[in-house]
Amino acid sequence: MKKLGVAIIVIAIAGFASLGRTQGKTDPALDKLAKEFMAAFNAKDAAKVASFYADDAVLMPPNVPLVKGRAAIEAQFKRDFQQGVSNLQLRPLESSTTGGQAFEAGTSTVTIKTGTATMTENGKYLTLFKRVGSDWKISHDIFNSDQAPPPPPKK
């Protein structure tokens, strides 16, 4: 159950979008960031993944408490990678930039290896960005799974 929560956290990890575009269009600058994010994630480079987040960013993974700040987000990714989370694929569906804010919404898949079992988790995400100097940094990142949670244990 804990690994499922970790996997869902990872899915949510990269997203960009914005408020001023028509649904179904993506911003090329945010598409580029999504590709760079995936490359860092799939290299299992927690420090590089965390560098996409603002210092005061908030990561909102499912089934675990809120993660605040870049250092805590880096530590979360390190744990995720150690627990067998890999192969993140992001598919931005819509993104846009407006002034100093941006958003991305999309779908994702991630691979989770637990012991000898490997599963693919499908999900969706919404990521908010803010301008920090000349860079876009993630300010809020939330994601969840398309799979139903496992049934509660029988008593």
For residue range 101-123, list pLDDT tens digits in order. 999 999 999 998 888 889 899 99
Q: How is the chain split into domains, by residue range?
A: 2-145
Please state which architecture CATH assigns to domain 2-145.
Roll (3.10)
Three-state DSSP class for residue 8 = helix
pTM of the predicted structure, to 2 decimals:
0.81
Condensed to tens digits (0 to 9), the pLDDT of residues 12-59 reads: 443 333 344 446 799 999 999 999 999 999 999 999 999 999 999 999
